[in-house]
Structure 1
């Protein structure tokens, strides 16, 4: 049976190599320019993710939420290790916290201006989660867990998801905010708000996952 797969692979290779394909159709307008004009933001990627492809983005956020819930469920019944190994030398702590500061600043920048320049909510959330992870690697697990519970991070994570889904449904129903001045910080209608909500959700979700893995696994 494997020879059938090999023959099919060889045939497909020569088909792609020698057989000519029809030229791609040309459009009388630029797709990128159309996306930018419809979304009201210069970053066409944000326009596609948070407007043209918003239906898919909703389920991406939901999948990320389910992944966090699954991590909590799978590790909740495990025994806590007697000792959690973390970085304790001064040089590692200084470098980690310096990197965390830079990552946090980058995350805030991407969350606020992601609709105007390369970046976006997911990238901002990853940068924020990286900052939190670097702090967690060099800090007490109990201290990080206390901050997580004191600020009700899990609750805010769920609230951000619900608000994102609600605003997305309203947007998909055809209701949009005014686009404002093109290229301005307050432009693009609902896109900057959705961008910030995704950033908050991903950062807080990453915080939860990092805490769980360090608590039960330490630094692998």
Structure 2
């Protein structure tokens, strides 16, 4: 069997060396212009992520969900530490919370306008998770856990994933919202909604991971 693999590999390399590659058929307009025209959003990256490569984005969201569930499963049997390491000096606390405020505002901006300018749902979720992490290292773990449960963040995270998958499936089968005027806030069809859903999912998933590492590791 080993010789079959070797012969197949040699034949494949001979094919690469001998057979010519067909010249690509280039369109009159650039690829970026084609993506913008097809998706209805100026941010071609968002158009590719939430339209041209929507299958990939669906599974990226699912993989992130599985990663959070896996972290919870692996740490569930560990004993929580007696000490949680946090910032205690007032200047560090002030700077961390100031950074959290800025990161939260950036997260909202990227989630709402990610289809119009550089950014998008994943970047917005990372910024939101950063804001939550900065608050976590300056606040009581019990207070963070109480807020997480009060706002039912775990349920909201799972609901955002389900809604994302539903909208993505509708888009893949050809059911789309009107694109609207290019460059307007309410444009791009379902892409702004998917951006916001991804931002919520990533931010709340990061919050869940932060709480897990604080509870079972005593630090971030």
**TM-score scaled by structure 1?**
0.88
What secondary structure does 1:88 align onto?
coil
Alignment of 1:34-183 (within 5 A): 34-183=34-183
Q: Matched residues in 1 for 2:76 and 2:106: separation? A: 32
* Aligned equivalents of 2:84, 2:194: Cα separation in 1: 37
In 2, distance between residues paired with 1:106 and 1:215? 28
Cα distance in 2, alignment partners of residues 50 and 170 from structure 1: 12
Q: Secondary structure in 2 aligned to 1:198?
A: helix
Distance 1:22 1:161 in 2: 41
* C-alpha deviation, 1:218, in angstroms: 2.1
Instruction: List gaps (5 residues or longer) in structure 2.
Output: 1-19
1:96, 1:215 → 2: CA distance?
20
Structure 1 unmatched ranges of 5 or more: 1-20
Distance 2:23 2:83 in 1: 61
How far does residue 24 in structure 1 lie from its aligned partner after superposition? 6.5
Number of matched pairs:
204
SS in structure 1 of the partner of residue 70 of structure 2: helix
SS in 2 for 1:42: coil
Per the TM alignment, residue 23 of structure 1 is displaced from its structure 2 partner at its CA by 10
Distance 2:58 2:41 in 1: 20
Root-mean-square deviation (CA, aligned residues, Å) is 1.9
1:91 & 1:212 partners in 2: Cα distance?
A: 26
Alignment partner, residue 209 of structure 1: 209
Once the two structures are TM-superposed, the CA of residue 29 in structure 1 deviates from its matched residue by: 2.6
In structure 1, how many angstroms separate the alpha carbons of the residues matched to 2:39 and 2:196? 16
Compute the displacement of 1:83 (Å).
Answer: 1.3
Q: Distance in 2 between matches of 1:22 and 1:171?
A: 34
Q: Give 1:217 deviation, angstroms.
A: 1.2
Alignment correspondent of 1:18 = none
Please list every run of at least 4 consecutive aligned residues from structure 1 whose deviation after the TM superposition is greater than 4 angstroms.
21-24
Q: Render the CA deviation track for 1:102-154: whole Å, top value 9, x for unaligned.
A: 00000000000000000000000000000000000110000000000010000
Task: After TM superposition, give the deviation of residue 219 of structure 1 in Å.
Answer: 2.5
